[in-house]
Amino acid sequence: MNNILVRTISGAVFISLILVPLFLVNPVYAVSILFLFMFLGIVEYGKLFENLNVIAINWKMNTLFSLLISFVFTAKILGFAPWGLPLSLCIFFIWCSTELWREKTNPLLNIGISIFGFMYICAPLLIAIDLHLKADFNFPILAGMFLLIWTNDTFAFLSGKFFGKRKLFERISPKKTWEGTIGGAIFTVLMAWGISYLFDNSHQLFWFVGAVFIVPAAIYGDLLESLFKRSLGVKDSGKIMPGHGGILDRFDASFFAIPFFYFWYLLYINLF
């Protein structure tokens, strides 16, 4: 019971930190909170490899360059840096060239792991920033997306806990079941209906199909992070959120789902 209380309070704080800025008119607050989680996530990712002999990445250097590229991209999104793409590429090559002076055994592997961290964590959140600034819906589109992801995650867990029998992907995540997956999908579609019916009736198709995109993407995102943790021999990616683990544990479904949701948004506004 004590653990459930800790998880509930921690989860409520996390949800509030994300949702409140997304409802504010000034986009600076939303961009700032997403950058905060980007920073925490990339630091957490780097520290996962600290005790490995084969991989020797510099997490401080990776954090610096990841955030530099992210700042440039955000400036481009806001219209302040039309030269953002070539500058980002310049920063990227400078980042790679730092390996010349580190004299580590597996430089190519180190570069690959470092760059993957940026693509896995920063790139989806940059897409989320772009989506938040572009979309003009009656209900904040990014808030709706996160609500769909969290609904799927929460009710997949509850449905699996009470009704789960058939394993979904036992080799990677023994606790996930088909019953949990179906339960999560049903409640995610219901959440999409609630958002569209109560707040955004003119975009019902978008929210319903968006839920269909979210469900498999969120599941695969969760499984992918479970695969990473199994490969590295860790239970949680971090301890920043009591009862939940780390930033990567909380955003695993979101990292995977954001590009698919954004792709659907672009299709929707161009076709409908």
pLDDT per residue over 114-132, tens digit each? 999 999 999 999 999 999 9
Element (DSSP H or E) covering residue 232: helix 204-232
Rounded Cα gap, residues 155 and 162, in angstroms: 10
Residue ranges with strand state E in 19-169: 167-169
Instruction: Provide the residue ranges of all domains of the chain, joining segments of one domain with +.
Output: 2-271
What single-letter amino acid sits at 270?
N
β-strand partners of 245:
241
pTM, full prediction:
0.93
Rounded Cα gap, residues 248 and 237, in angstroms: 6
Best CA proximity match to 59, nearest among 73, 72, 75, 43: 43
**Tokens 């989506």 correspond to what residue?**
131
Question: CB within 8 A of 153, min separation 6: which ones?
Answer: 184, 218, 222, 253
Other beta carbons within 10 angstroms of residue 123's beta carbon come to 18
Taking a C-beta distance cutoff of 8 angstroms, is the pair 73, 88 a contact? yes
Element (DSSP H or E) covering residue 75: helix 59-77
Rounded Cα gap, residues 107 and 97, in angstroms: 10
For the chain, where are the alpha helices, taking DSSP H only?
2-23, 27-47, 59-77, 84-97, 107-117, 123-134, 141-163, 178-198, 204-232, 247-271
79 torsion bin: left (phi>0), alpha (psi -120 to 50), beta (else): left
**What is the structure's pLDDT at 259?**
97
**What is the structure's pLDDT at 110?**
94
Given a cut of 50, the residues of the chain with pLDDT beneath it are none
Distance linking the first and last C-alpha atoms of the chain: 48
Rounded Cα gap, residues 53 and 31, in angstroms: 36
pLDDT per residue over 222-246, tens digit each? 999 999 988 888 888 878 776 667 8
Taking a C-beta distance cutoff of 8 angstroms, is the pair 41, 14 a contact? no
